[in-house]
Structure 1
Amino acid sequence: MGKALYAGSFDPMTNGHLDILKRASRLFDEVVVAIGVHPAKPGLFSFEERAALIREALKGEGSAIEVISFSGLVVETAREVGADILLRGLRDATDFDYEMQMAGMNASLAPQIDTVFLPASAPSRPITATLVRQIAAMGGDVSAFVPAPVAIALKRKFA
């Protein structure tokens, strides 16, 4: 079904992200994870750390998922890697409204690239990277919300 680009900050990767990636790897021939990197907006984890955590979380999944960085328009990144699909996960109606606006703008900029939405699975709907960071920063257990390598990295980061 082509090549999909799944873009986001993944800071940190959550079980919701992992769920979308696992499902996408069954739907598309290739999936590229594009980690947004903005020099003026440093994340909790560096690009290298985020990429390593994503690769570690996907170990044993049998899927060939490429991880790259990007700092410009997502449609330009899709063009650069030869993706014909922008993949987006949806948790709720708020996500849907925002993502529909983005899909419309991206379609105006690159009509040959389609956006495909995958709904979050029920267990991952309430999970956001922001909430995970906040819980981890306050010493809470986030192991139910993130892959095991990410939980370990968060524990180290806030130790």
Structure 2
Amino acid sequence: MDIIRRGAKLVDRLVIGVTTNPSKSPMFTLDERLAMVEREVAGVSGDIRVVAFDALLMTFAERQGASVIVRGLRAVADFEYEYQMAGMNQQLNDRIETVFLMADVSLQPIASRLVKEIAMYGGSIARFVSPAVCEEVIARVEKLGRKGD
């Protein structure tokens, strides 16, 4: 949300693309994540759209009429991956620029993988996610079964 709020101030229209990374194991379906993002951005000012996609990022961006991709960075490890991705994306479409925004310093250590792990072991995730997302994660963990029980 930090990157979304700040990114929305930089562009006339912010399109948030929601997809499934094949190398990750999401806790929620694409439709569930899409609904979560739509709910979370409802109060953010600006022209913001939330769109699901299943294509190369540059193909999606071009279909949306984008001239800029806004990416959030938390740490040096993020930068190395994102720098490589930006280079590949530029090779695919050099008409679309990638802009990086550093996450707020208080948010830099937060990673979805760690938040899921904390939740799966019964720890509190309330300081890492919004209240609504917290409730949904807790409900999903209860459905899946906590680890260590």
- Which shows bigger deviation, 61-70 or 102-111? 61-70
Note if 1:61 corresponds to 2:44: yes
Note if 1:154 corresponds to 2:137: yes
Shift of 1:40: 9.1
The CA distance in 1 between the partners of 2:100 and 2:76, in whole Å, is 12
Indicate conservation of the 8 Å contact 2:71/2:98, yes or no. yes
For the pair shown, the structure with the greater C-alpha radius of gyration is 2
TM-aligned CA distance change 1:130 to 1:29, over 3 Å: same
Q: Percent identity?
A: 37
The CA distance in 2 between the partners of 1:38 and 1:119, in whole Å, is 22
Match of 1:128 in 2: 111
- Which shows bigger deviation, 33-42 or 120-129? 33-42
One-letter code aligned to 2:79? F
The CA distance in 1 between the partners of 2:21 and 2:86, in whole Å, is 21
The CA distance in 2 between the partners of 1:141 and 1:124, in whole Å, is 16
* Number of aligned positions between the proteins: 142
**TM-score (normalised: structure 1):** 0.83
Alignment partner for residue 100 of structure 1, among 83, 97, 100?
83
Long gaps (5+) in structure 2: 143-149
**TM-score (normalised: structure 2):** 0.88
Alpha-carbon RMSD: 1.7
Shift of 1:62: 2.6
Long gaps (5+) in structure 1: 1-17
Give the number of the structure with larger relative contact order, counting CA–CA contacts within 8 Å between residues 6 or more apart.
1
Shift of 1:138: 1.2
| 1:72-98: CA deviation from partner (whole Å, max 9, x where unpaired) | 210000011111111111111111111
